[in-house]
Structure 1
């Protein structure tokens, strides 16, 4: 490519999309690449409905993320036969899912993201290279000079820009450019975190999940072929799990006690406040007319794959792990169709039918495996459990206040079972800030992480990895790049010089309308047991 680029974004997930939208709005010329054919990452190709915090409908939410959410709701109101009652709801939830106030189909997120990017594509300020993955990085000294991406047909393109953003799902540029980074779990001997293992374990990585969309057509038979290793998943029991994963019985993440949740239940109870069907439902028939049926997305503990990691192994081993994750999901669907105990006393739900139109794939399975943990850059500042954890900081203390805050976020510290044989780590956190120092690699001057690859730890990644937080990280990185380019300084200089840091704050708060500090009553808030019964905060 010969035209000049101000910002090169490698990876079109949630952070990459937010960075592209923000950078173009700030006048930068941007090229964004994405290894798949779809933008949006968790929201689209990985088929994970948004997981959000209790204040997501408040003015403290990033205006551009709020715009995305508004456009999703408007898309349904414009294009679907929404009932008058549902259309009138200010907080319209298409799926009425438990996990979020906005459970929607991946295909709608696809359409909305394309709509938000369309004006910048039309002006030529943004160019998107889909189906292009990074394969090499040219580094001179402490700067990235070029990134080589390879298209699906094998052609390679050399891309150059003064600032490069790594918004890949696994932090690919960190490895390709040999940027200092960590994988797996840090040790408590290093971080001092209450819930870290005693010593570091690079192979201690969170489970991945291959999600899929289904509807239920009672009386029909949609049973497919029995997966080759079905018997393995049907009988294998891990030491920290109560039985085979092909079961309605799993582990409650917070208290670590055994629980059983059926696919459907007629009456909710305090012990089982919701069934699995409603957990991540993205289409609720009650919201629509015209014969639209319920559709749910399966991202449940039963499909968490923790047998082998994706990082720290060769490409063939990572591919085998992805294939095994996919097979676990296929086996769980087959089990639900053929052997699962029914709510009415029978066995199997053969009417469960995959919905490829919802996931935007041929078969109903997500286009990509859902990734919870990436390579993490070694940065100028590292977010620890001691900065955000309720137990680590004390009741009522609130999260740490960062002078270099560039955004806000909140979620529980939620770690799924790991490839090292550890069970859930699911603990309370305070509403927190995103510190600029966690976005600045310690050495390389012009590479900025914009996804799950920021300077968090294995523990704090558990609350910084959610959709709205990754979005805020992406837009903060874009604003940082705009200030650095305007001042002709490396991004780290913006944090180091008070005048430039003030300039960045003015861009974030003035031009972009982003809130950088929680109200005190929110920053110091944590959920009481009685509050959890009112507002379910499920694990993802």
Structure 2
């Protein structure tokens, strides 16, 4: 093994990991960043999920560096893509004209922008990135992590990495069990948390579904894939709460749980510039084609795109047969999730009811070139729920639930290090639960949720912070994950500069004030503006 040292080791190159690296690099620290997939960016890129954001994202409520990422994506399209003049001039360009987000786009564009944001630090040697490497072991000395061993994904050997601070930015909190850091999984009980939506009995194995997304377009010809081996099972699969087979246009409404009918019209005759992506007005999932559309052909000069490109992240690809965390054979279940997605595609191509009364859309073409996956699907599964640290402060439902907080708004913490906003949105879970949807107030991110109760130099930098199964449903989205990572990187750098430990920063008023000023200077919004209309 070869040993490499740095100031701050960031394990996991998703949105939280990239932001953590940037937060530390801006503070002048050397960083080693590892990532097991071919693309940096996690849920935005290798998982192929367009950004889930709140309705005020164009004005406020995200960090300055996250805004730079969004601005960079739009600038990349304007600089390199054959947009129509109207699209190019639109100040809030939404290249996909999708309804789920104001910035639906092809994942490769986000990869290019992320790489550009990191490029100066790579060139100077301040940042080193190891890809594709995943963590396989760790060494500890009491309450400190002394080394992390990563292995090449494709069998290229192992490397031991050391740093004064180690940040876990993996999608599932992989460093927590490797380092013996105390953590929780699944659903806590109402007795544990006091949460109105929690069950009477905790279930650590009850976790949100994972989804393997994929991109498709619709062109002339027959592009039907080979029939998946377990297609018959998935075609006939009917969860008790679904009201129909999963492979149908009918599924539960996440907010009302009533069974609703969705439509599917490839390449509709719509004006993508007229799309208003605002979840307050409509969830936008009536027509699944436009819901998460990532390239609208009419945004581009005639002939540039033969078809729209649609990103499939729909209810029917949610895999909730088993968790993929802390189970004997996670690879088996991840493979099953991929087969479910391929079965959905095969159903779409062969049996899905069409508006004209026929069945199947053989013109649907799998666009693995768009997602970068070797099997045509996304490179990585969309992981909604991670292992979560036992934190100095755990965010609970009653901190942000609109039904509980009402006009008071979410709890204002004494140690805010960021903000976020999303409904508590839990997908069907491995314990047999239907959707859980709770209206939430715009909320803050408390520093205490980033501090493990015992470990001194390990920090979470993603979905592994101190939330519950329920509040993770609001804290797991793109801008919040970025915010958490950015603060974790900045905190590690601050602690090195001041020769203090993370818990001391929260406990000491002067240190907390000083660190908060650093965040303010970096453009991290720590409180919501005092405005109406939430």
Range class of TM-score, shorter chain: over 0.9
Check conservation: 1:483, 1:503, Cα contact below 8 A: no
Q: CA deviation at 1:37?
A: 2.0
Alignment of 1:359-374 (within 5 A): 359-374=371-386
Q: Let me know the Cα RMSD of the aligned residues.
A: 1.7
Match of 1:181 in 2: 183
| 8 Å CA contact 1:355, 1:363 repeated in 2 | no
Question: Using the alignment, how far apart are the partners of 1:143 and 1:426 within structure 2?
Answer: 38
- Determine the structure 2 residue equivalent to 1:282: 294
Q: Aligned pair in 2 of structure 1 residues 97, 192: CA closer, same or farther (>3 Å)?
A: same
Asked if 1:432 is matched to 2:434, the reply is no
Provide the C-alpha distance between the structure 1 equivalents of 2:171 and 2:131, rounded to a whole number of angstroms. Answer: 15
Verify the 8 A CA contact 2:218 2:308 in the aligned structure 1.
yes
Does the 8 A contact of 1:55 with 1:61 survive in 2?
Answer: no
Partners of 2:167 and 2:461 within 8 A in 1: yes
Partner of 1:451: 462
Query: Would the alpha carbon gap of residues 237 and 3 (structure 1) be closer, same or farther in structure 2, given more than 3 Å must change?
Result: closer
Looking at structure 2, the residues matched to 38 and 81 of structure 1 have their Cα atoms a distance apart, in angstroms, of 24
Displacement of 1:154 in angstroms is 4.0
The alignment status of 1:492 with 2:471, answered yes or no, reads no
Could you tell me how far apart the structure 2 residues matched to 1:117 and 1:273 are?
A: 35
Q: For 1:200-211, what aligned pairs fall within 5 Å after superposition? A: 200-211=202-213
Q: 2: CA distance between counterparts of 1:30 and 1:166?
A: 13
Question: Is 1:196–2:198 an aligned residue pair?
Answer: yes
Q: What is the Cα deviation at residue 344 of structure 1?
A: 2.3
Q: How does 1:388-403 map to 2 (within 5 A)?
A: 388-393=400-405, 395-403=406-414
CA drift of 1:397 comes to 1.7
Deviations 1:296-341 (CA, angstroms, capped at 9, x unpaired): 1000001001011112212x2x111111111111111111111111
Where in structure 2 are the equivalents of 1:205-354 lying within 5 Å? 205-217=207-219, 219-264=220-265, 274-289=286-301, 290-292=303-305, 293-314=307-328, 316=329, 318-354=330-366
Cα deviation, 1:343-367, whole Å, max 9, x if unaligned, reads 2222110000011221123443101
Q: Cα 1:226–1:519, aligned 2, differ >3 Å: closer, same or farther?
A: same
- Counterpart secondary structure, 2:120: helix
8 Å Cα contact 2:30/2:127 also seen in 1: yes
Q: Secondary structure at the match of 2:408?
A: coil
Q: Offset at 1:407? A: 0.6
SS in 2 for 1:396: helix
Query: d(CA) in 2 for partners of 1:13 and 1:468?
Result: 12
Q: CA deviation at 1:520?
A: 2.9
| Deviation of 1:392 (Å) | 2.4
Alignment map for 1:135-174 (pairs within 5 Å):
135-151=136-152, 152-174=154-176
SS of aligned partner of 2:110: helix
- How far apart in 2 are the matches of 1:343 and 1:198? 45
Distance 1:461 1:110 in 2: 25
- Give me the whole-angstrom Cα distance separating, in 1, the residues matched to 2:52 and 2:313: 12
Q: What CA distance in whole angstroms lies between the structure 2 residues aligned with 1:153 and 1:236? A: 37
Whole-angstrom distance in 1 between the partners of 2:489 and 2:57: 22
- Contact 2:3 2:160 (8 Å CA) reproduced: no
How many corresponding residue pairs?
519
**Matched position secondary structure for 1:52:** coil
Could you tell me which residue of structure 2 aligns to residue 384 of structure 1? Answer: 396
Unaligned stretches of 5+ in structure 1? Answer: 527-540
Q: Is the 8 A contact 2:82 2:304 kept in 1?
A: no
Indicate how the Cα distance of structure 1 residues 344 and 381 shifts in structure 2: closer, same or farther if over 3 A, else same. Answer: same
Quick check: 2:195–2:397 contact (8 Å CA) kept in 1?
Answer: yes
In structure 2, the residue corresponding to 1:158 is in which secondary structure? strand
Structure 1 residue 4, shift from structure 2 partner: 4.4
Does structure 2 conserve the Cα–Cα contact (< 8 Å) formed by 1:7 and 1:161? yes
SS across alignment from 1:408: strand
1:90 to 1:270, Cα distance in 2 relative to 1, 3 A: closer
Give me the whole-angstrom Cα distance separating, in 1, the residues matched to 2:204 and 2:336. Answer: 21
Secondary structure of 2:65's aligned partner: helix
User: 1:60: Cα distance to partner?
Assistant: 3.6
Contact in 1 for aligned 2:11/2:33 (Cα 8 Å): yes
Is the contact made by 2:198 and 2:470 (CA closer than 8 Å) also made in structure 1?
yes
Match of 2:85 in 1: 84
What TM-score results when the alignment is normalised by the length of structure 2?
Answer: 0.95
Contact 2:4 / 2:160 at 8 angstroms: preserved in 1? no
Contact 1:214 1:364 in 2 (8 A): no
Question: 2:99, 2:283 within 8 Å by CA — same for their partners in 1?
Answer: no
Give the drift of 1:272. Answer: 8.2
Q: How many angstroms apart in 1 are the aligned matches of 2:531 and 2:197?
A: 26
Q: Secondary structure at the match of 1:364?
A: coil
> 2:277 maps to what in 1?
none
Shift of the 235–4 alpha-carbon distance from structure 1 to 2, 3 Å rule, reads: closer
CA distance in 2, matches of 1:247, 1:425: 21
Shift of 1:68: 0.3
The 8 Å contact of residues 169 and 452 in structure 1, kept in 2 or not, is answered as yes
CA change 1:59–1:241 in 2 (3 A) is: closer
> How far is 1:161 from its partner?
0.6
Whole-Å Cα distance in 2 between the matches of residues 447 and 287 of structure 1?
45
| Contact 1:18/1:475 (<8 A) preserved | yes
Runs of 4 or more off by more than 4 Å in structure 1?
1-4, 265-273
Contact 1:212 1:364 in 2 (8 A): yes
